[in-house]
Amino acid sequence: MLKSMKSMVDRLSPTLPMVAIGAVTLLLVVVGVGARHSAPRAQQAAAASPASAPAEGGNAPEGTYREIDWQALLPKGWDPLAPFRGMRLQRMQDGDPRAQEALFKAREYWKTAPTEPGMDGARVRIPGYVVSLDAEGDQLREFLLVPYFGACIHVPPPPSNQIIHVLASRPLPGLRTMDPVWVSGVLRVERAETMMGDAGYAMHDARLERYQER
């Protein structure tokens, strides 16, 4: 299990700055996030406990949920960094039109990211950050769950296969955008286009828990 908020952040992705940043800087952040997502599972094993590592195949028994991480939602062989192949971002300056073009291509590529069909119908439990779609506080029931802080708010949305459209069975008192939570329920391969980003997965009637230190 995760031991602290820091370990959650480390496991999901680096914390992102809440400031306006240039195109090249933003691309470097995006590439860093993508590299973390595309890392081999064996390399991530040290960052996750056995209980939080994605299980291969099967489903959780009725009434229970299999704890997964975001890597489990990526189909094998899909490369989130494909739009950046051959680019030397470190040598570019903010405002470089090549950086602007690469960022545009990446966003379009990530919007249509493929999902993992084997996750459809899986009973899972996953941690992430809230991006509200309807309200804040006690009325917040519909939101996007994303793997790293700042996604969809301060930086472009992650790939659609790293966004879950959540409809909660009941609101969690005081919940706000970018709060960390555990979400449990039946995962569906179901696309949703929202003003905050496009999701490749959905979870209806989901159970929410505040992320707490273990």
pLDDT score, position 153:
82
pLDDT for 195: 93
Please state, in angstroms and as integers, the Cα–Cα distance from residue 175 to each residue in 62, 100, 144, 170, 188, following that order: 28, 35, 13, 11, 24
Neighbours of 212 (CB within 10 A): 11
Residue 99 contacts by C-beta under 8 Å, 6 or more apart in sequence?
A: 23, 24, 27, 89, 92
Q: What is the pTM (predicted TM-score) of this model? A: 0.75
**pLDDT given at position 56:** 42
Cβ neighbours for 12, distance < 8 A, ≥ 6 positions apart: 69, 70, 127, 128, 129, 147, 148
Q: Which domain holds residue 137?
A: 5-210
The pLDDT of residue 93: 72
Contact residues for 169 (Cβ-Cβ < 8 A; gap 6+): 205, 206, 207
Q: How many domains does the chain have?
A: 1
| pLDDT beneath 50, residues of the chain | 1-21, 35-57
- Which CATH number does the domain housing residue 99 bear? 2.40.50.870
The pLDDT of residue 15 is 32
